[in-house]
């Protein structure tokens, strides 16, 4: 019996160095956290795949998460990082207004290199409540200013784990739904092309 291949959706992490992208990656992959002192510096792209059950029919979908591995510190991230991404998570740190203010630059990169990607904003380090300098109103204003290309916003703490699993589960659900409807549209398109061309003696179009 033929088995159906499980869809795999590429999701990329974007944002400034130090906002917690690798920590989100680590939470995704091993549900763990390492503090600054225990952290080994890594360089180079990382990828990890994880399966989620989504929707009322609990359909299985795979997220393939990509991390820059700190590459943005020494070089620009190449377009292959963005290519074929179904979702991009724009990460900033809640205690760093600078990391929030550069989101629009990262957004531009995503829009130019990953045209199909759904874009999400993630405010990380919510455990640092007392140092938080970015408000909900700031996040909302940013989303409005970029003409609502942002599909959703999340707040996470890699340190405590708060909000991380919920974010990836929700993204898996939304991305699975949109890729399924895109495939259905493509199938309809294919069928439309296969419809016979009108005969020469058909009524001419009046417009």
Residues that bind ligand GDP (CB under 6 A): 17-23, 35-36, 39, 70, 124-125, 127-128, 157-159
Nearer to ligand GDP by Cβ, of 16 and 86: the residue is: 16
* In the complex, least distance from residue 13 CB atom to ligand GDP, rounded to whole angstroms: 8
- How far is 61 from 64, CA to CA, in rounded Å? 10
Nearer to ligand GDP by Cβ, of 39 and 182: the residue is: 39
Nearer to ligand GDP by Cβ, of 4 and 36: the residue is: 36
Per-residue b or e along 54-76, where b marks 16 or more CB atoms closer than 10 Å to that residue's CB: beeeebebbbbbbbbbbbbeeee
Strand partners, 55: none
Say which residue the tokens 């998460």 belong to. Answer: 65
* In the complex, least distance from residue 117 CB atom to ligand GDP, rounded to whole angstroms: 19
* In the complex, least distance from residue 55 CB atom to ligand GDP, rounded to whole angstroms: 29
Nearer to ligand GDP by Cβ, of 106 and 118: the residue is: 106
- How far is 14 from 82, CA to CA, in rounded Å? 10
| Residue 92: half-sphere exposure toward Cβ, Cα within 13 Å | 25
Nearer to ligand GDP by Cβ, of 46 and 54: the residue is: 46
* In the complex, least distance from residue 101 CB atom to ligand GDP, rounded to whole angstroms: 16
* In the complex, least distance from residue 114 CB atom to ligand GDP, rounded to whole angstroms: 19
> What are φ and ψ of residue 189, in 5° steps?
-60, -45
Closest listed residue to residue 90, CA positions, set 75, 71, 111, 69: 111
């Amino acid at each position: 019996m033929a088995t159906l291949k499980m869809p795999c959706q590429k999701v990329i992490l974007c944002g400034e160095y130090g906002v917690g992208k690798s920590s989100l990656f680590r939470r995704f992959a091993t549900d763990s956290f390492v503090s600054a002192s225990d952290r080994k510096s890594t360089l180079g792209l990382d990828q990890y795949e994880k399966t989620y059950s989504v929707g009322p029919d609990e359909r299985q979908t795979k997220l393939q998460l990509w991390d820059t591995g700190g590459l943005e510190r020494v070089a620009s991230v190449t377009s292959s990082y963005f290519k074929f991404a179904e979702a991009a998570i724009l990460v900033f740190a809640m205690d760093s207004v600078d990391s929030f203010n550069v989101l629009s630059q990262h957004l531009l990169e995503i829009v130019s290199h990953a045209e199909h990607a759904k874009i999400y904003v993630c405010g990380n380090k919510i455990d640092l409540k007392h140092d938080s300098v970015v408000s909900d109103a700031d996040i909302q204003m940013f989303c409005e200013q970029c003409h609502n290309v942002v599909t959703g916003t999340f707040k996470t703490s890699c340190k405590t784990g708060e909000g991380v699993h919920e974010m990836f589960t929700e993204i898996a659900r939304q991305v699975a739904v949109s890729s399924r409807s895109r495939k259905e549209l493509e199938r309809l398109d294919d069928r439309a092309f296969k419809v016979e061309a009108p005969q020469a003696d058909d009524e001419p179009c009046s417009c």
